[in-house]
Chain A
Amino acid sequence: MDECAKMREELIELLFGELDDERELALNRHLLHCPACREEERRLLALREDLTSDVAVVDPGLRTRVRNALPGRKKRGILETLRRPVPAYAALAAAVLVALLAWELPLGERDRGGVRPARVAARTPAAFVPAGAYTTSWENGAAGRESEEWPTHPESLATDSL
Protein backbone atom coordinates (compact mmCIF):
# COMPACT_ATOMS: atom_id res chain seq x y z
CA MET A 1 0.00 0.00 0.00
CA ASP A 2 1.46 3.36 -0.98
CA GLU A 3 1.63 6.17 1.51
CA CYS A 4 -1.46 8.02 0.21
CA ALA A 5 -3.62 4.87 0.31
CA LYS A 6 -2.48 4.24 3.86
CA MET A 7 -3.15 7.82 4.90
CA ARG A 8 -6.65 7.72 3.42
CA GLU A 9 -7.44 4.78 5.62
CA GLU A 10 -6.09 6.78 8.54
CA LEU A 11 -8.34 9.65 7.54
CA ILE A 12 -11.41 7.44 7.86
CA GLU A 13 -10.14 6.33 11.21
CA LEU A 14 -9.64 9.92 12.29
CA LEU A 15 -13.03 11.18 11.12
CA PHE A 16 -15.24 8.20 11.88
CA GLY A 17 -13.30 6.22 14.41
CA GLU A 18 -10.43 6.93 16.70
CA LEU A 19 -6.83 7.60 15.89
CA ASP A 20 -4.07 7.71 18.48
CA ASP A 21 -1.95 10.85 18.80
CA GLU A 22 1.12 9.41 17.13
CA ARG A 23 -0.73 8.32 13.98
CA GLU A 24 -2.67 11.57 13.87
CA LEU A 25 0.60 13.49 13.92
CA ALA A 26 1.95 11.41 11.03
CA LEU A 27 -1.27 11.97 9.11
CA ASN A 28 -1.10 15.72 9.60
CA ARG A 29 2.49 15.77 8.37
CA HIS A 30 1.41 13.93 5.25
CA LEU A 31 -1.54 16.27 4.66
CA LEU A 32 0.77 19.27 4.74
CA HIS A 33 2.47 18.28 1.53
CA CYS A 34 -0.24 16.20 -0.23
CA PRO A 35 -3.07 18.21 -1.91
CA ALA A 36 -4.81 15.04 -3.12
CA CYS A 37 -5.18 13.72 0.42
CA ARG A 38 -6.30 17.14 1.63
CA GLU A 39 -9.04 17.01 -0.99
CA GLU A 40 -9.99 13.56 0.25
CA GLU A 41 -10.12 14.93 3.78
CA ARG A 42 -12.46 17.71 2.63
CA ARG A 43 -14.83 15.24 0.98
CA LEU A 44 -14.86 12.94 3.97
CA LEU A 45 -15.55 15.87 6.27
CA ALA A 46 -18.52 16.85 4.07
CA LEU A 47 -19.78 13.28 4.19
CA ARG A 48 -19.53 13.20 7.96
CA GLU A 49 -21.33 16.52 8.24
CA ASP A 50 -24.18 15.29 6.04
CA LEU A 51 -24.45 12.11 8.05
CA THR A 52 -24.58 13.85 11.41
CA SER A 53 -26.82 16.75 10.40
CA ASP A 54 -29.63 14.59 9.07
CA VAL A 55 -31.64 14.10 12.25
CA ALA A 56 -35.23 12.98 12.63
CA VAL A 57 -38.10 15.20 13.68
CA VAL A 58 -40.22 13.12 16.00
CA ASP A 59 -43.95 13.00 15.35
CA PRO A 60 -45.64 14.90 18.23
CA GLY A 61 -48.14 12.06 18.71
CA LEU A 62 -45.45 9.45 19.20
CA ARG A 63 -44.94 10.25 22.87
CA THR A 64 -48.59 9.58 23.71
CA ARG A 65 -48.73 6.46 21.59
CA VAL A 66 -45.69 4.98 23.27
CA ARG A 67 -46.87 5.98 26.75
CA ASN A 68 -50.20 4.24 26.19
CA ALA A 69 -48.49 1.13 24.91
CA LEU A 70 -46.23 0.65 27.93
CA PRO A 71 -46.90 -2.46 30.02
CA GLY A 72 -47.64 -0.48 33.19
CA ARG A 73 -50.93 0.71 31.71
CA LYS A 74 -52.71 -2.64 31.73
CA LYS A 75 -56.21 -3.21 33.12
CA ARG A 76 -56.74 -3.13 36.87
CA GLY A 77 -57.55 -6.29 38.74
CA ILE A 78 -60.72 -6.70 40.77
CA LEU A 79 -59.04 -6.20 44.14
CA GLU A 80 -57.33 -3.05 42.98
CA THR A 81 -60.59 -1.68 41.63
CA LEU A 82 -62.34 -2.42 44.96
CA ARG A 83 -59.55 -0.69 46.87
CA ARG A 84 -59.99 2.53 44.92
CA PRO A 85 -61.63 5.37 46.88
CA VAL A 86 -65.34 5.82 46.21
CA PRO A 87 -66.38 9.34 45.18
CA ALA A 88 -68.56 11.16 47.73
CA TYR A 89 -71.52 11.50 45.38
CA ALA A 90 -71.49 7.77 44.68
CA ALA A 91 -71.37 6.97 48.40
CA LEU A 92 -74.26 9.35 49.05
CA ALA A 93 -76.33 7.84 46.22
CA ALA A 94 -75.68 4.32 47.56
CA ALA A 95 -76.70 5.37 51.09
CA VAL A 96 -79.94 6.91 49.83
CA LEU A 97 -80.74 3.79 47.81
CA VAL A 98 -80.17 1.50 50.80
CA ALA A 99 -82.31 3.72 53.02
CA LEU A 100 -85.15 3.70 50.48
CA LEU A 101 -85.04 -0.06 50.10
CA ALA A 102 -85.00 -0.57 53.85
CA TRP A 103 -88.00 1.70 54.23
CA GLU A 104 -90.01 0.58 51.21
CA LEU A 105 -89.78 -3.23 51.42
CA PRO A 106 -91.30 -3.83 54.90
CA LEU A 107 -94.01 -1.25 54.23
CA GLY A 108 -94.98 -2.82 50.95
CA GLU A 109 -95.17 -6.28 52.47
CA ARG A 110 -97.22 -5.03 55.40
CA ASP A 111 -99.66 -3.38 53.01
CA ARG A 112 -100.03 -6.57 50.99
CA GLY A 113 -100.03 -8.78 54.05
CA GLY A 114 -97.14 -10.69 52.55
CA VAL A 115 -94.15 -12.27 54.17
CA ARG A 116 -90.64 -10.87 53.96
CA PRO A 117 -88.41 -13.00 51.70
CA ALA A 118 -85.69 -13.14 54.34
CA ARG A 119 -88.01 -14.97 56.71
CA VAL A 120 -89.02 -17.39 53.95
CA ALA A 121 -85.40 -18.19 53.33
CA ALA A 122 -84.83 -18.72 57.02
CA ARG A 123 -87.63 -21.28 57.16
CA THR A 124 -86.46 -23.19 54.05
CA PRO A 125 -85.01 -26.58 54.99
CA ALA A 126 -81.30 -26.77 54.40
CA ALA A 127 -81.67 -30.02 52.48
CA PHE A 128 -83.80 -28.21 49.92
CA VAL A 129 -80.94 -25.99 48.85
CA PRO A 130 -78.79 -27.59 46.14
CA ALA A 131 -75.17 -28.08 47.16
CA GLY A 132 -72.96 -25.18 46.06
CA ALA A 133 -75.88 -22.96 45.13
CA TYR A 134 -74.63 -20.18 47.37
CA THR A 135 -70.93 -20.30 46.59
CA THR A 136 -69.63 -16.85 45.82
CA SER A 137 -67.22 -15.45 43.33
CA TRP A 138 -64.72 -15.17 46.22
CA GLU A 139 -64.83 -18.91 46.79
CA ASN A 140 -64.41 -19.45 43.07
CA GLY A 141 -61.19 -17.49 43.26
CA ALA A 142 -62.21 -14.66 40.97
CA ALA A 143 -61.32 -12.04 43.54
CA GLY A 144 -57.94 -13.55 44.13
CA ARG A 145 -56.56 -12.56 40.77
CA GLU A 146 -53.96 -9.86 40.92
CA SER A 147 -53.54 -7.04 38.45
CA GLU A 148 -50.83 -7.34 35.84
CA GLU A 149 -49.00 -4.26 36.94
CA TRP A 150 -45.38 -3.89 35.75
CA PRO A 151 -42.94 -4.91 37.01
CA THR A 152 -44.05 -8.32 38.22
CA HIS A 153 -40.73 -10.11 38.41
CA PRO A 154 -38.31 -8.12 36.29
CA GLU A 155 -35.36 -10.31 37.26
CA SER A 156 -36.93 -13.27 35.53
CA LEU A 157 -37.09 -11.51 32.20
CA ALA A 158 -34.36 -12.23 29.72
CA THR A 159 -32.19 -9.47 28.34
CA ASP A 160 -32.17 -9.10 24.58
CA SER A 161 -29.19 -10.30 22.71
CA LEU A 162 -28.07 -10.11 19.17
Chain B
Amino acid sequence: MSGGEKELAGRIRRGDPGAFDAFFDRYAPRLVGYLARMVGDEAAAEDLFQETMIRVYRNIGGYREKGAFRSWVYRIATNAALSEIRHRRLAPQTVEPAILHSVKAEGPSPLDEVEKKERLERLRSGIGALPEEHRAVLLLRVQGEMDIRDIARTLGIPEGTVKSRMHHAVRKLRHYMEVPSALPEEERRHG
Protein backbone atom coordinates (compact mmCIF):
# COMPACT_ATOMS: atom_id res chain seq x y z
CA MET B 1 0.00 0.00 0.00
CA SER B 2 1.33 3.43 -0.84
CA GLY B 3 2.26 5.76 2.00
CA GLY B 4 -0.45 8.22 0.98
CA GLU B 5 -3.16 5.57 1.12
CA LYS B 6 -1.95 4.22 4.43
CA GLU B 7 -1.90 7.71 5.85
CA LEU B 8 -5.37 8.41 4.49
CA ALA B 9 -6.74 5.24 6.08
CA GLY B 10 -5.17 6.31 9.39
CA ARG B 11 -6.66 9.78 9.18
CA ILE B 12 -10.14 8.38 8.59
CA ARG B 13 -9.69 6.00 11.50
CA ARG B 14 -8.64 8.85 13.82
CA GLY B 15 -11.59 10.96 12.73
CA ASP B 16 -9.40 13.65 11.17
CA PRO B 17 -11.85 16.23 9.72
CA GLY B 18 -9.64 16.84 6.66
CA ALA B 19 -9.70 13.17 5.72
CA PHE B 20 -13.10 13.48 4.07
CA ASP B 21 -11.93 15.94 1.42
CA ALA B 22 -8.72 14.00 0.86
CA PHE B 23 -10.67 10.81 0.30
CA PHE B 24 -13.25 12.50 -1.91
CA ASP B 25 -10.65 14.19 -4.11
CA ARG B 26 -8.65 11.02 -4.51
CA TYR B 27 -11.49 8.61 -5.16
CA ALA B 28 -14.61 10.40 -6.41
CA PRO B 29 -13.78 10.93 -10.12
CA ARG B 30 -12.70 7.38 -10.92
CA LEU B 31 -14.96 5.63 -8.48
CA VAL B 32 -18.08 7.45 -9.67
CA GLY B 33 -17.05 6.60 -13.25
CA TYR B 34 -16.49 2.98 -12.30
CA LEU B 35 -19.87 2.75 -10.59
CA ALA B 36 -21.64 4.55 -13.45
CA ARG B 37 -20.26 2.01 -15.91
CA MET B 38 -21.07 -0.87 -13.60
CA VAL B 39 -24.73 0.02 -13.10
CA GLY B 40 -25.26 2.12 -16.25
CA ASP B 41 -26.94 4.92 -14.34
CA GLU B 42 -25.40 8.18 -13.15
CA ALA B 43 -27.82 8.98 -10.34
CA ALA B 44 -27.44 5.47 -9.00
CA ALA B 45 -23.66 5.76 -9.31
CA GLU B 46 -23.61 8.84 -7.10
CA ASP B 47 -25.85 7.17 -4.55
CA LEU B 48 -23.58 4.15 -4.59
CA PHE B 49 -20.53 6.35 -4.14
CA GLN B 50 -22.19 7.89 -1.11
CA GLU B 51 -23.02 4.44 0.22
CA THR B 52 -19.42 3.37 -0.34
CA MET B 53 -18.07 6.33 1.63
CA ILE B 54 -20.46 5.68 4.48
CA ARG B 55 -19.39 2.03 4.61
CA VAL B 56 -15.74 3.02 4.50
CA TYR B 57 -16.18 5.37 7.45
CA ARG B 58 -18.32 2.93 9.38
CA ASN B 59 -16.08 -0.08 8.84
CA ILE B 60 -12.64 1.52 8.92
CA GLY B 61 -12.00 -0.12 12.28
CA GLY B 62 -12.31 -3.52 10.66
CA TYR B 63 -9.87 -2.68 7.87
CA ARG B 64 -6.46 -4.29 8.28
CA GLU B 65 -3.49 -2.48 6.85
CA LYS B 66 -1.91 -5.58 5.38
CA GLY B 67 -4.26 -5.23 2.40
CA ALA B 68 -4.28 -2.32 -0.05
CA PHE B 69 -6.69 0.37 1.09
CA ARG B 70 -7.74 1.05 -2.50
CA SER B 71 -8.63 -2.61 -3.03
CA TRP B 72 -10.68 -2.52 0.13
CA VAL B 73 -12.54 0.62 -0.99
CA TYR B 74 -13.20 -0.77 -4.48
CA ARG B 75 -14.35 -4.03 -2.98
CA ILE B 76 -16.97 -2.18 -0.96
CA ALA B 77 -17.97 -0.21 -4.07
CA THR B 78 -18.18 -3.38 -6.18
CA ASN B 79 -20.34 -5.07 -3.56
CA ALA B 80 -22.64 -2.08 -3.54
CA ALA B 81 -22.86 -2.03 -7.35
CA LEU B 82 -23.52 -5.77 -7.67
CA SER B 83 -26.11 -5.56 -4.94
CA GLU B 84 -27.81 -2.68 -6.76
CA ILE B 85 -27.79 -4.57 -10.06
CA ARG B 86 -29.24 -7.68 -8.46
CA HIS B 87 -31.78 -5.67 -6.56
CA ARG B 88 -33.08 -3.77 -9.53
CA ARG B 89 -32.73 -6.67 -11.94
CA LEU B 90 -32.27 -4.18 -14.69
CA ALA B 91 -30.15 -4.54 -17.73
CA PRO B 92 -27.22 -2.17 -17.48
CA GLN B 93 -28.10 0.71 -19.71
CA THR B 94 -25.97 2.98 -21.76
CA VAL B 95 -24.79 5.89 -19.68
CA GLU B 96 -26.16 9.19 -20.94
CA PRO B 97 -23.57 11.03 -23.01
CA ALA B 98 -24.00 14.10 -20.79
CA ILE B 99 -23.08 12.10 -17.73
CA LEU B 100 -19.63 10.86 -18.54
CA HIS B 101 -17.56 13.35 -20.40
CA SER B 102 -14.56 12.10 -22.24
CA VAL B 103 -11.30 13.91 -21.83
CA LYS B 104 -10.77 15.94 -24.95
CA ALA B 105 -7.67 15.39 -26.94
CA GLU B 106 -5.82 18.49 -28.03
CA GLY B 107 -7.22 20.16 -31.13
CA PRO B 108 -9.72 17.59 -32.41
CA SER B 109 -11.75 18.51 -35.47
CA PRO B 110 -15.56 18.53 -35.22
CA LEU B 111 -15.63 15.37 -37.28
CA ASP B 112 -13.20 13.70 -34.89
CA GLU B 113 -15.41 14.76 -32.02
CA VAL B 114 -18.53 13.28 -33.59
CA GLU B 115 -16.73 10.05 -34.40
CA LYS B 116 -15.32 9.80 -30.94
CA LYS B 117 -18.69 10.46 -29.37
CA GLU B 118 -20.27 7.72 -31.42
CA ARG B 119 -17.44 5.36 -30.58
CA LEU B 120 -17.76 6.06 -26.86
CA GLU B 121 -21.50 5.53 -26.95
CA ARG B 122 -20.97 2.20 -28.64
CA LEU B 123 -18.27 1.37 -26.14
CA ARG B 124 -20.52 2.13 -23.17
CA SER B 125 -23.25 0.07 -24.71
CA GLY B 126 -20.81 -2.79 -25.15
CA ILE B 127 -19.56 -2.53 -21.58
CA GLY B 128 -23.11 -2.54 -20.28
CA ALA B 129 -23.79 -5.70 -22.20
CA LEU B 130 -20.89 -7.63 -20.68
CA PRO B 131 -21.60 -10.09 -17.88
CA GLU B 132 -21.23 -8.33 -14.51
CA GLU B 133 -18.20 -10.28 -13.38
CA HIS B 134 -16.33 -9.57 -16.62
CA ARG B 135 -17.38 -5.94 -16.57
CA ALA B 136 -16.06 -5.53 -13.02
CA VAL B 137 -12.64 -6.93 -13.95
CA LEU B 138 -12.30 -4.73 -17.01
CA LEU B 139 -13.44 -1.57 -15.25
CA LEU B 140 -11.22 -2.16 -12.24
CA ARG B 141 -8.31 -2.40 -14.68
CA VAL B 142 -9.05 0.67 -16.77
CA GLN B 143 -11.04 2.91 -14.42
CA GLY B 144 -9.57 1.77 -11.11
CA GLU B 145 -6.06 1.50 -12.62
CA MET B 146 -5.45 -1.73 -10.74
CA ASP B 147 -3.06 -4.47 -11.65
CA ILE B 148 -4.11 -8.12 -11.89
CA ARG B 149 -3.08 -8.86 -8.31
CA ASP B 150 -5.09 -5.98 -6.87
CA ILE B 151 -8.14 -6.93 -8.92
CA ALA B 152 -7.87 -10.51 -7.66
CA ARG B 153 -7.65 -9.23 -4.08
CA THR B 154 -10.51 -6.80 -4.59
CA LEU B 155 -12.87 -9.38 -6.02
CA GLY B 156 -11.60 -12.28 -3.95
CA ILE B 157 -10.88 -14.47 -6.96
CA PRO B 158 -7.67 -16.14 -8.25
CA GLU B 159 -5.38 -14.15 -10.54
CA GLY B 160 -5.92 -16.73 -13.30
CA THR B 161 -9.65 -16.06 -13.18
CA VAL B 162 -9.01 -12.33 -13.44
CA LYS B 163 -6.91 -12.90 -16.55
CA SER B 164 -9.45 -15.14 -18.24
CA ARG B 165 -12.28 -12.70 -17.51
CA MET B 166 -10.17 -9.85 -18.78
CA HIS B 167 -9.46 -11.69 -22.04
CA HIS B 168 -13.12 -12.53 -22.46
CA ALA B 169 -14.23 -8.94 -21.84
CA VAL B 170 -11.65 -7.41 -24.19
CA ARG B 171 -12.37 -9.90 -26.98
CA LYS B 172 -16.11 -9.28 -26.69
CA LEU B 173 -15.69 -5.51 -26.67
CA ARG B 174 -13.19 -5.55 -29.47
CA HIS B 175 -15.58 -7.58 -31.59
CA TYR B 176 -18.53 -5.41 -30.64
CA MET B 177 -16.68 -2.25 -31.66
CA GLU B 178 -16.02 -3.75 -35.08
CA VAL B 179 -19.42 -5.31 -35.57
CA PRO B 180 -22.02 -3.38 -33.52
CA SER B 181 -24.81 -5.63 -34.77
CA ALA B 182 -23.12 -8.52 -33.01
CA LEU B 183 -24.75 -7.77 -29.69
CA PRO B 184 -23.19 -9.49 -26.73
CA GLU B 185 -25.31 -12.11 -24.99
CA GLU B 186 -26.52 -10.00 -22.09
CA GLU B 187 -27.71 -7.19 -24.29
CA ARG B 188 -29.61 -9.54 -26.54
CA ARG B 189 -31.22 -11.17 -23.53
CA HIS B 190 -32.39 -7.89 -22.05
CA GLY B 191 -33.47 -6.42 -25.40
A interface residues, Cβ below 8 angstroms from B: 9, 12-13, 15-18, 43-44, 47-48, 50-59, 62-63, 65-67, 69-72, 150-151, 153-162
Describe B's contact surface by its main secondary structure: helix
Whether the Cβ atoms of B141 and A16 lie closer than 8 Å is yes
Q: Which residue of B lies closest to A50 (CB)?
A: B123
B54 within 8 A of A: yes
Provide a sorted-by-A list of 23 A–B residue pairs whose CB atoms are within 8 angstroms.
Answer: A13-B163, A15-B170, A16-B138, A17-B148, A47-B170, A50-B120, A50-B123, A51-B123, A51-B138, A54-B124, A55-B143, A56-B32, A58-B29, A63-B28, A66-B50, A69-B53, A71-B57, A151-B61, A154-B13, A155-B62, A159-B63, A162-B79, A162-B82
Q: Which residue of A lies closest to B142 (CB)?
A: A51
In whole angstroms, what is the CA distance A150 to B20 when docked? 14
B76 within 8 A of A: yes
Whether the Cβ atoms of A154 and B62 lie closer than 8 Å is yes
Q: What 12 new A-B contacts, CB under 8 Å, besides A51-B123, A162-B155?
A: A44-B174, A47-B177, A50-B119, A54-B102, A54-B123, A56-B33, A63-B24, A66-B24, A70-B53, A155-B62, A157-B62, A162-B156
Size bracket of the B interface: 35 or more
In whole angstroms, what is the CA distance A59 to B120 when docked? 20
Whether the Cβ atoms of A150 and B119 lie closer than 8 Å is no
CB proximity of B82 to chain A, nearest CB, Å: 8
CB proximity of B119 to chain A, nearest CB, Å: 6
Please list the 3 inter-chain residue pairs (A to B) with the smallest Cβ-Cβ separation, ordered nearest first.
A154-B61, A56-B33, A159-B62
B183 within 8 A of A: no
Partner of A72 from the list B24, B36, B57, B173 (CB cut-off 8 Å) is B57
Whether the Cβ atoms of B50 and A17 lie closer than 8 Å is no
